[in-house]
Structure 1
Amino acid sequence: MSDEEYHIFTGKEEIKRPSKLLLLTELGRASFGLGAYFMSLPWLQFMPKGDEHPVLVLPGFMTTDTTTAPLRFYLKSRNYTPYRWKMGRNLANFHEIEEKIYDRLLELKDIHGRKVSIVGWSLGGVYAREIARRHPDAVRQVITLGSPFGGITGENNIEWIYEMVTGRKVSEVDHIPEEIVQNIPKAPPVPTTAIYSKADGVVAWQHCMEKKEGPITENVQVTGSHIGLGHNPAVLACIAERLNQREGEWIPFKHTTMGKLFYSHYF
């Protein structure tokens, strides 16, 4: 299939799947980013300590809790209480495991007696938004990392893996409940931060951001690969700052001191 067949038009904006160059350099860039992660850990320890509230971390498509280990390690070092999702490999079967994720969410809420923040990487972020939309009473805030909620069947470089694993075409969404398909682009009724990178080699970055920011929704741009977002120092610093806000006192990242000092060139 030609590149032209992957194009869509949204108003005046043409959205394409990421280039082959970005895709082919994903692993190398992510490996470099992992080195930057270890080198940046001392600096990242200067981020304010958290309030020990629980944070559920959801992995991306075809990955497991192992990939989120660096992120969870860092969150724990900043006095948060991170948790794995404990459901093995993410096989894009949300409609089958939704109740299990919700049970996990309620379990953590009951243990701590407070709402749970959810950090979702790639497809895990799509799950996080849907869970928060359905159960906002249990969710403190949602942070997504390169999650294509704006076009889950749109421009990407991973459809062949999805089709191989599920036996279904990405464009054929009949197996996904219509309610979920329609709601995916809609932001949940809780504070939501969408972190994305224009250098993403897996999914189109335009699908990983809110089309229009609102009072409790925002986009934060960083530089880096898709598969390196979970250990990207700029991402970790942003997550730590977002989680550090008191419940009920959420303000946009661009209005914070950190956002103005280190991320202002993206706004």
Structure 2
Amino acid sequence: MNDDHLVYVSDNLSVRNPILQFFAEKWYVILYFWHAIIGIFIQLEDSPEGDKRPVVLIPGFLGRTLSWEPMLKHLSVNGHPVYTVPLGFQMGNIRSKSRILEEYLIQKKIKDCYIVGHSMGGLIAAGLTYKGRDRVKKIFIAGTPVRGTYLAYAAPIFIGAWQMMPGSKFIKETVEVFEKLPNVQSVFTQKDQIILPSENSRLGHFDDVELPEAGHMNLFMGPLGIACLFDLITAEENKDPKPIPKKTEPQKQVESSQAITQKIQPTSKKKNVSKKTSPKKASLKRQTPIAKKKGIVKKKKR
């Protein structure tokens, strides 16, 4: 595996004290399992408004949509439509979860999106067929057991755990998929208590990103993990901004600056009345000039 990788440095957040990291991770674990219970009845609502590319968030093993709430708020405030995929009990067949994800993208008409998959969620994203991949701009995986985790042996009763065992048929196929996909970036930590060994969450690419804090849940629930994933999405968005659709405005009728007026000048017709006049009066009429009546000019404003 290539040892070259990136280390995330935040402009606004500093790395927390190791003791604080330890207790924060314990709290995230408790919160994660609490969400797994109440998530049976409550789901996090999507935030479909925004002018940037949509982001689809996929939970990991035993995960629920509620755990993504801090990440969803951070993304939606910054202009991204955000969707959280309800995948039910995250213990079953990962291949089936991939089909549910693909149907979700098609049903919601989500295109040109970013996918963020935590832990097993990254494996679910890798299982998309061409129908789903055509709708994805880039996949970000955080703490995903790309090459499996030995902790999976602790829960052999679940199909998902079998599939995440190192050297399993599923893991071998997933590694081949990740090697072919050019639009995947991994975020990992050197002190991951779930991915054993922690190097198994790396793709081995030069742009793998190391989070300089400990904790598997901290990768997507902690402030530094959220900032890291957000900055990676922002960097990708700045590199290739989402095209702004042109609004088709109705053609405006061009009106002249001057009002159009039409002058109508009706001519008053005189009735010829034949009267018998004496020669003397006739001569007087010829000598006396007759004043012409002026026609009335009306202006009709349109």
TM-score over 0.5 for the pair: yes
Following the alignment from structure 1 to structure 2, what is the Cα–Cα distance between the partners of residues 168 and 143?
Answer: 22
Compared with structure 1, are the counterparts of its residues 133 and 238 closer, same or farther at alpha carbon in structure 2 (3 Å cutoff)?
farther
Match of 1:249 in 2: 239
Q: CA deviation at 1:82?
A: 1.2
Q: Is the 8 A contact 1:224 1:232 kept in 2?
A: no
Q: Is the 8 A contact 2:145 2:200 kept in 1?
A: yes
Q: Which amino acid aligns with 1:196?
A: F
Following the alignment from structure 2 to structure 1, what is the Cα–Cα distance between the partners of residues 186 and 166?
Answer: 24
Q: Which amino acid aligns with 1:156?
A: Y
Q: Is the 8 A contact 1:133 1:188 kept in 2?
A: no
Identity of aligned residues (%): 18
Match of 2:113 in 1: 116
Alignment of 1:63-78 (within 5 A): 63-78=63-78
Q: Which amino acid aligns with 1:212?
A: H
Q: Work out whether 1:57 is the aligned partner of 2:57.
A: yes
Q: Which amino acid aligns with 1:57?
A: L
Following the alignment from structure 2 to structure 1, what is the Cα–Cα distance between the partners of residues 221 and 129?
Answer: 24
Structure 1 alignment gaps of length 5 or more: 1-9, 12-24, 35-49, 251-267
Match of 1:194 in 2: 186
Structure 2 alignment gaps of length 5 or more: 3-19, 30-49, 241-302
Aligned residues: 201
Q: Work out whether 1:157 is the aligned partner of 2:151.
A: yes
Q: Which amino acid aligns with 1:121?
A: H
> How does the TM-score come out when normalised to structure 1?
0.63
> How does the TM-score come out when normalised to structure 2?
0.56
Match of 1:224 in 2: 214
* Runs ≥4 residues deviating over 4 A: 31-34
Partner SS state of residue 239, structure 2: coil
Match of 1:263 in 2: none
Q: Is the 8 A contact 1:53 1:81 kept in 2?
A: yes
Following the alignment from structure 1 to structure 2, what is the Cα–Cα distance between the partners of residues 237 and 167?
Answer: 29
Higher RCO (CA 8 Å, separation ≥ 6 residues) = 1
Match of 2:201 in 1: 208
Q: Is the 8 A contact 1:61 1:124 kept in 2?
A: yes
